[in-house]
């Protein structure tokens, strides 16, 4: 996957991006338009565009028979660093949550402080620990209705946590939980 600058206005303070179909760490993602972003400062529409990448990962996980939770990591300019989805069911690996998959796919980084972790669901304690341990400065959450996880804890530690309260993220997961309560309870450690 690569992000391509599609157009820039005269003062270059806003530009429109397009994600081209391709491979990002071996993961294929359908093409879609990313909303305009501001080069100087992030806004809510930027976060929604980033969430689209995580939602595509969640849909991929669901299509594979897994739990529909996706995540992506971006730098401050909006460049995608890594993406992934929950593959606990598919791989039989209890540590392979959406955030950890995106983290692994991002590869080693000198620092994570200026990176943005985007996830379709509030991170569990395990993934909240990852955000804390590596010092991510910003966490964008698709929804916290189905599960609150460690959002308040991360906020108390100074992490900028933004809950976008996405209806699509909430319904995708609540539908899965209704159909697969035993797998969901196992995923959150309540099995």
The per-residue pLDDT for range 132-155, each reduced to its tens digit, is 999 999 999 999 999 999 999 999
Who's near 191: CB < 8 A, 6+ residues apart?
Answer: 182, 185
Q: What is the pLDDT of residue 44?
A: 66
Q: Return the closest-CA partner of residue 27 out of 4, 60, 5, 3.
A: 60
pLDDT at 37 over 70: no
pLDDT at residue 11 above 70?
Answer: no
What is the chain's mean pLDDT, rounded?
82
Write down the pLDDT at residue 152.
Answer: 96
Out of 23-37, 72-86, 166-180, which region has the weakest mean confidence (pLDDT)?
A: 23-37
């Amino acid at each position: 996957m690569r992000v391509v600058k599609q157009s820039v206005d005269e003062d270059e303070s806003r530009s429109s991006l397009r994600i081209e179909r391709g491979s990002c760490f071996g993961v294929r993602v359908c093409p879609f338009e990313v909303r305009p972003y501001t080069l100087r400062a992030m806004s809510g529409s930027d976060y929604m565009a980033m969430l689209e990448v995580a939602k595509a990962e969640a849909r991929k996980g669901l299509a594979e028979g897994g739990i529909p939770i996706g995540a992506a990591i971006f730098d401050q300019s909006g460049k995608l660093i890594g993406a992934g989805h929950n593959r606990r069911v598919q791989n039989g690996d209890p540590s392979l949550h959406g955030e950890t998959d995106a983290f692994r796919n991002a590869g080693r980084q000198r620092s994570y402080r200026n990176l943005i972790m985007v996830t379709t669901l509030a991170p569990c304690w395990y993934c909240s620990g990852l955000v804390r341990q590596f010092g991510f400065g910003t966490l964008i959450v698709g929804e916290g209705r189905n599960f609150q996880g460690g959002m308040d804890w991360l906020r108390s530690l100074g992490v900028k946590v933004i809950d976008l309260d996405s209806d699509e993220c909430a319904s995708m997961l609540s539908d899965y939980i209704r159909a697969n309560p035993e797998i969901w309870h196992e995923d959150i450690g309540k099995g």
